[in-house]
Amino acid sequence: MRLTPDAWIFWQYGIFTLNATILFTWVLMAVLVLGAVLITRRLATGHERSRWQNLLEIVVTAIMSQIEDVGLQNPRRYLGFLGTLFLFVAAAALATVIPGFEPPTASLSTTAALALCVLVAVPLFGISGQGLLAYLKSYLQPTPIMLPFNLISEVSRTLALAIRLFGNMMSGAMIIAILLSITPFVFPIVMTLLGLLTGMVQAYIFTILAAVYIAAATRSSKALNKIVP
């Protein structure tokens, strides 16, 4: 039994390895991009539009609405990053219903990469939002003594993001695999449904947490002081 799809290796040359994580990631990427291309190939701007366009518009506007609810004023600016995070994690969770498919998010390497993306994106958005000095000053809040703790917080929450998603997705896949070997008929189906729910929740949590981190980084200290006196 494999704990991670990283261990499922198709090809290897030195450090270059083509494992199931990368392969299934490409598959997901291809499906997402091809689906988007096919649906957005004939977008209607009138009142009559296809159901797939409606689905895409609902998804996109729902993500933007969630981003705005978190407190980010210009959701379109963050839609590319946060929306892709959600769609990738959610698509990986949905794809677990396909027999033989192992979600890339069940790999700690993938979740770590996503968490690293968040770790890099948060200061980038923060600096672009309030400037380099203002952003760096936020590490000294509320007092300079808190600088080490703020840094530790950055690292720990990144680790938490990675581990949380990995643990949930890996455990879901693991439970299904174990149950398939024990009770191969009904119970794995129920657990698969539960795994779908868990995967969607994890996608939502991952995206919302990333949005919250970005929102915290982009808000100025004055705004924070206004919110938390």
* Distant-in-sequence, close-in-space partners of 39: CB < 8 Å, separation ≥ 6: 50, 52, 53, 55, 56
Is the CB of 97 or the CB of 159 nearer to other proteins?
159
- In angstroms, give the least distance from the CB of 80 to other proteins: 4
Is the CB of 60 or the CB of 127 nearer to other proteins?
60
- In angstroms, give the least distance from the CB of 175 to other proteins: 17
* Distant-in-sequence, close-in-space partners of 212: CB < 8 Å, separation ≥ 6: 70, 71
Give Cα 84 to chain centroid, integer Å.
7
Is the CB of 46 or the CB of 100 nearer to other proteins?
46
- In angstroms, give the least distance from the CB of 35 to other proteins: 9
Please report which residue ranges of 95-219 form alpha helices under DSSP H.
108-130, 132-137, 147-182, 187-218
Task: Give the whole-angstrom CA distance, residue 161 versus residue 207.
Answer: 10
**Contact residues for other proteins, defined by CB under 8 A:** 3-4, 6-7, 15-17, 19, 21-22, 25-26, 29, 32-33, 36-37, 40, 43-47, 53, 56-57, 60-61, 76, 79-81, 83-84, 87-88, 104, 107-110, 112-114, 116-117
Q: Residue 167: name the closest of 111, 93, 209 by CA.
A: 111
- In angstroms, give the least distance from the CB of 173 to other proteins: 14
Is the CB of 32 or the CB of 200 nearer to other proteins?
32
Q: Residue 79: name the closest of 93, 94, 65 by CA.
A: 65
Is the CB of 46 or the CB of 184 nearer to other proteins?
46
